Structure 1
């Protein structure tokens, strides 16, 4: 596993639900998921399959969009929530180390080990964090043969009254000069919004982006605020460390703030009606009107990790009242 100086005590996951309570928060676990509960009423639920966050509530409402047809039984990647993309984004390119892997890699379709929980304070309030681990031994034999890299991942999910932080630590556990590997990483976050037609995204003006709906051609964002009015699938390169999602019909009232660390890019995605209709596990079909994917990651270029080296990156999502 990744450097164990920060690894918390391992939690025993059994078929019977278990609960751990402190003065700050509660962690409830069962055979397939973990739920964090904050004294404020905020909560987060994470499946062990893919370490996928499938629910985040704050201020009394759900903040993530999840398809009602999404499989939550470990049979396929979850449609919605926060799936994890590693070690490749999109269909793998021929000639790369990841060329034999499925689209978006294996992190979102592999069962992770539950490592443990920690608690602390941030900005004067309590938080609760749960850590998950994944390494080469966690993969099935076929996937391990296709990837070949000796790696370790620690994924941390931290909850406060109004924020959800997701952080990934990647370690190259190989030895020797030939053990270096390249990877992409992305937090594929489906944010729930009341009406996508009314929101705007600030912070992208002037950035270069590749538009996947136009054959990955390169463009420069010329809008002060980005409005979603059609199918959108863009990779904004070298994006600022903070973006805001606002209600454009209510004096730009903040809805979400997305703050990233160690991540270079942001993907903005909404399939719109034409795209949603082609996705088998997308329900309801008009659900694209209540979601926007603002995905922090490093995907426009490969991250190279030398043997024995460690990389770390993450994102904090803040939900506003």
Structure 2
């Protein structure tokens, strides 16, 4: 086991042979290896020099998800998905280093000056033999007013072939916003989801709090979440994927985005209140 720091990232090694690498830029996890396989997809065209958000891995969307809202002004002026994924985070400390897992804590810098809100944003990454846990901690440090936000972990899971996967465990009747259909609200029929056309859905209040991915070759993932209530499922397929400038050729065939978050509305925290959003990914 061990933790190695470089000028751009922190690398975790577990005694089982699993590993993870977290860039300080955005606290983006760019690699997770378990069972001898890379479990996260990062585009071969991704910018890794801090010039733009990293295409792949696990970027953090905060304090908004998607395009900015029309108001209030400090939120309306934000870039898509907010600013956390474009900030330089700090590796604060090793929380745990045992056979059960290695856990590191990262903290975000202050927000841009035009975003006048007081909060503390921290991220705890825990690696074990077959699991990667990511916990986002948000504390409202305002003395007398609420702090509102959205937050989401934009996880790119590596898969051999997106056309062969099945996504399950989204309960029948779960409402989702279908962005492919212009934001139409639809109720899930509960059947397995396959990637035979572009998919971009934000599922609201997923009661199971766990989404399963069968990679079609006897492996896959379980993605469990707590605190986070919603889950976006996204793959652009070739139709849209080839228009993404930092997406490698046919990259859309190599991943599925399963993205736990608080995204259907804004979460409000009272002064001093803390929110913890957790994602636990198990490699099968």
What range is the shorter-chain TM-score in?
A: over 0.9
Is the Cα–Cα contact under 8 Å of residues 157 and 255 in structure 2 kept in the other structure?
yes
Equivalent in the alignment of 2:192: 225
- Superposition deviation, residue 205 in structure 1: 3.9
Rounded Cα–Cα distance in structure 1 between residues aligned with 2:52 and 2:37: 27
Among 170, 175, 193, the residue aligned to 1:204: 170
Rounded Cα–Cα distance in structure 1 between residues aligned with 2:197 and 2:82: 27
Residues 179-218 of structure 1: matches in 2 within 5 Å?
A: 179-206=145-172, 207-218=174-185
Structure 1 unaligned residues grouped into runs of 5+: 1-24
Equivalent in the alignment of 2:9: 33
Q: TM-score, normalised by structure 2?
A: 0.96
Residues 71-120 of structure 1, C-alpha deviations (whole Å, 9 max, x = no match) = 11111100000000000011111113511111000110000111011225
RMSD, aligned α-carbons: 1.3
Equivalent in the alignment of 2:43: 67
Rounded Cα–Cα distance in structure 1 between residues aligned with 2:97 and 2:222: 22
- Superposition deviation, residue 243 in structure 1: 1.5
Equivalent in the alignment of 2:136: 168
Equivalent in the alignment of 2:125: 157
Residues 162-202 of structure 1, C-alpha deviations (whole Å, 9 max, x = no match) = 100000110111111xx312100101000000111111111
Residues 110-121 of structure 1: matches in 2 within 5 Å?
A: 110-119=87-96
Residues 270-315 of structure 1, C-alpha deviations (whole Å, 9 max, x = no match) = 01101111111101x2111110000000100110011211111110
Larger radius of gyration: 1
Equivalent in the alignment of 1:318: 282
**Number of aligned pairs?**
281
Residues 250-269 of structure 1: matches in 2 within 5 Å?
A: 253-269=218-234
> Which runs of at least 4 in structure 1 moved beyond 3 Å after TM superposition?
none
Equivalent in the alignment of 1:18: none
Q: TM-score, normalised by structure 1?
A: 0.85
Rounded Cα–Cα distance in structure 2 between residues aligned with 1:291 and 1:200: 12
